[in-house]
Structure 1
Amino acid sequence: MAAISQQRVKICLVLLCLVSASAYSTSSSTTSSGTLSISLLNPLFYAIKCPQALDTIKKLVMNALANDPRMGASLLRLHFHDCFVQGCDASVLLADTGTFRGEQSALPNVNSLRGFEVVEKIKYALEHECPGVVSCADILAVAARDSVVALGGPGWPVSLGRRDSTTASFSGANTDLPSPFLNLDGLIAAFQKKLFTANEMVALSGAHTIGRARCLLFRSRIYNETDIDSTYANQMRTYCPKAGGDSNLSPIDITTKDVFDGAYYTNLINKKGLFHSDQQLFSGGSTATQVKSYSTFPSLFKFDFANAMLKMSNLSPLTGTQGQIRKVCSRVN
Structure 2
Amino acid sequence: LDQVLVEGWNEGWEDWFGKSKDYVFDFVTPYPDFDVKMLNEYARSKGVKLMMHHETSGSVRNYERHMDKAYQFMADNGYNAVKSGYVGDMIPRGEHHYGQWLNNHYLYAVKKAADYKICVNAHEAVRPTGLSRTYPNLIGNESARGTEYEAFGGSKPFHTTLLPFNRLIGGPMDYTPGIFDTKLDFMGDLPHGQVQTTLAKQLALYVTLYSPLQMAADLVENYEKHMDAFQFIKDVAVDWDDSKYIEAEPGDYITVARKAKGTGNWFVGGITDENARTANFTLDFLEPGKQYVATLYADGKDADYKENPTSYQIRKGIVTGKTKMSVKEARSGGFALSLIEATPADKKTVKKWR
Report the TM-score when normalising by structure 2. Answer: 0.25
- Which has more radius of gyration? 2
**Higher share in strand:** 2
Higher helix content, 1 or 2: 1
Q: TM-score, normalised by structure 1?
A: 0.26
